[in-house]
Chains A and B, each alone.
Chain A
Amino acid sequence: MRTWWIIYLKELRSFFLSPLAFIVMALFTFLNGWLFIGVVSAMREKAMPYSLVYQLFGSGWFWMGFFILFPLITMRLFAEEKKMGTFEGLMTAPVRTIEVLLGKYSAAVTVYLAMIVPLLLFFPIFKMITEQEGAYNAGALWGSIIGLILIGAFNTAIGTLASAMTSNQLIAAMLTFVGVMLHYFFGFFSSLTTVADSRWNALLNYFSTPVHMRYLSEGLIDSRPIVYYLSFSLFLLAITYHLIESRKWTV
Chain B
Amino acid sequence: MIEVSGLTKRYVGHTAVDDVSFSVKKGEIVGFLGPNGAGKSTTIKMLTCYLTPTAGTATIDGLDVERDSIQVRRRIGYMPENVPLYLDMRVSEYLRFRGALKGLGGRKLTAAVDEAMEICSLVDVQRKIIGTLSKGYRQRVGLADALVHKPELLILDEPTNGLDPQQIRLFRDLIKDLGKRHTIFLSTHILPEVEMTCNRVLIINRGKLRASDTPKNLVRRRRQGGEVVVDIKADASAASQAIQALKGVTDVETEGVDGDWARLAISSKGKADLTERIHDLAVDQSWKIRELVQRDATLEDAFVDLVRKDGVSK
Contact = CB atoms under 8 A, between A and B. Distances in A.
B174 interface: no
B52 A249 contact: yes
Nearest to A10: B97
Nearest to A249: B52
Contacts of A95: 70, 73, 101
Contacts of B84: 84-89
A92 B48 CA distance: 6
A47 interface: no
Contacts of B89: 14
Interface residues of B, number: 32
Contact of A88 (B70, B80, B98): B80
Given A3-B101, A85-B82, A251-B11, A91 B50 contact: yes
Given A84-B87, A248-B52, A89 B70 contact: no
Contact of A94 (B10, B70, B145): B70
B156 to A, nearest CB: 13
Contacts of B73: 92-95
Contacts of B71: 94
B82 A92 contact: no
B189 interface: no
Most chain B CB inside 10 Å of its own CB: which residue of A17, A89, A248: A89
B259 interface: no
Interface string A127-162: 000000000000000000000000000000000000
A88 B86 contact: no
Nearest to A92: B48
A94 B80 CA distance: 15
Contacts of A6: 97, 100-101
A166 to B, nearest CB: 17
A199 interface: no
A90 B97 CA distance: 11
A7 B80 CA distance: 20
Given A6-B97, A86-B84, A92 B10 contact: no
Nearest to B89: A14
Contacts of B238: none
B86 A94 contact: no
A86 B11 CA distance: 23
A14 B93 CA distance: 12
A247 interface: yes
Contacts of A94: 70-71, 73-74, 101-103
A3 B105 CA distance: 11
Interface in B3-19: 10-12
Given A6-B100, A17-B88, A92 B76 contact: yes
A183 interface: no
Contacts of A92: 48-50, 73, 76, 78, 80
Given A91-B50, A94-B103, A86 B98 contact: no
A96 interface: yes
Interface in A68-117: 84-96
Interface string A1-42: 011001100100010011000000000000000000000000
A89 B84 CA distance: 7
A234 B48 CA distance: 29
B11 A93 contact: no
B111 interface: no
B70 A251 contact: no
Nearest to B49: A92
Contacts of A93: 73, 98, 101-102
Contacts of B246: none
A248 B74 contact: no
Interface in B60-89: 70-71, 73-74, 76, 78, 80, 82, 84-89
29 contacts: A2-B105, A10-B97, A17-B88, A84-B87, A85-B84, A86-B84, A87-B84, A88-B45, A88-B50, A89-B84, A89-B85, A89-B145, A92-B48, A92-B50, A92-B76, A92-B78, A92-B80, A93-B101, A94-B70, A94-B71, A94-B73, A94-B101, A94-B103, A95-B70, A248-B51, A248-B52, A249-B54, A251-B12, A251-B54
A-B pairs, 4 with minimum CB distance: A85-B84, A94-B73, A248-B52, A92-B48
Interface of A: 2-3, 6-7, 10, 14, 17-18, 84-96, 247-249, 251
Given A2-B105, A91-B49, A95-B73, 20 more contacts: A10-B97, A85-B80, A86-B84, A86-B85, A88-B45, A89-B80, A90-B101, A92-B73, A92-B76, A92-B80, A93-B101, A93-B102, A94-B74, A94-B101, A247-B51, A248-B52, A249-B51, A249-B52, A251-B10, A251-B12
